[in-house]
Amino acid sequence: MKVTVIGATGRIGKRVARTLVEHGHDVRGVNRRPDRAAVVPAGLGLLTHAADTGDEASLGPALAGADAAVLATAPTREDPAAYLTQTASVLRAARRAALTRLVAVSSYVALCAPDGRTVLEAEPAHPYFRPIEEVYPAQAAMFRAEAELDWLLVAPPAELYPYGDVTRRYRVAEDVLVVTDPANPNFKETSVLSMEDLAAFIVEEVEHPSYHRQLVSLAY
């Protein structure tokens, strides 16, 4: 399978890219900064494209001929609204490339809390982070309006830690944050997962899709 990983030098993207290569797929990475290509683990034989994710034409060569793509970028504090422009560009480019699958990383703030409120209502963000967090519900709305692609939005838990094992012992839910104790309002204590398990889940959903046109959450 030919898979393009957009954001292949990020914390999640590089783990997804590495796992896909280890599974024998033809993987292409996309990053807006060519100088970041070294962040991808050496020895993978991964071709990295420098592309502007906000420019559909710039993304075209990286998606041409791909069967699937993973979108693993994140908004910046400097211009969080640009993330929505990038999302729209990726969706258009994915349709033009006729991808059979698009898996994108979201955030737990796009979900509902266990009590039925949105996470942003149950756990109000500090004003400094609010503009970043507000883009994720908007991102989810953009995907839900996408009727042509077979897409999946994957929301990490509230606490995502690096260098864990691939256990596949996580639980998955649609639209609702997965927690161990619904009565505990501190989600970072009750909604936890390793980056390795998150990457494993994303790769599984590229290879053998189980969830379609959904926003899902996973945690231990």
Give the residue numbers spanning the domain of 139: 2-219
Question: Nearest Cα to 173, choosing from 104, 101, 113, 105?
Answer: 113
How far is residue 95's CA from residue 43's CA, in Å, rounded to a whole number? 31
> Count of domains in the chain?
1
Q: Which DSSP helix (H) or strand (E) runs through 61?
A: helix 56-63
Q: Identify the pLDDT of residue 125.
A: 75
Going from the C-alpha of 220 to that of each of 12, 138, 202, 214, the distances in angstroms are 18, 26, 16, 20
The single residue listed with the structure tokens 């957009």 is: 6
Q: Identify the pLDDT of residue 36.
A: 58
Residue 168's Cβ-count burial label (10 Å; 0-12, 13-18, 19+) is exposed
Interval 64-75: pLDDT, tens: 999 999 999 999
How far is residue 60's CA from residue 51's CA, in Å, rounded to a whole number? 9
The CATH number that applies at residue 136 is: 3.40.50.720
Interval 57-113: pLDDT, tens: 989 999 999 999 999 999 998 999 999 999 999 999 999 999 999 999 999 999 999
How far is residue 139's CA from residue 85's CA, in Å, rounded to a whole number? 10
Given a contact cutoff of 8 angstroms between Cβ atoms, the answer to whether 84 and 139 are in contact is: yes
Structure tokens at 176: 């609702």
Q: How many CA atoms lie within 13 A of 192 on its CB side?
A: 10
Average pLDDT over every residue of 23-40: 76
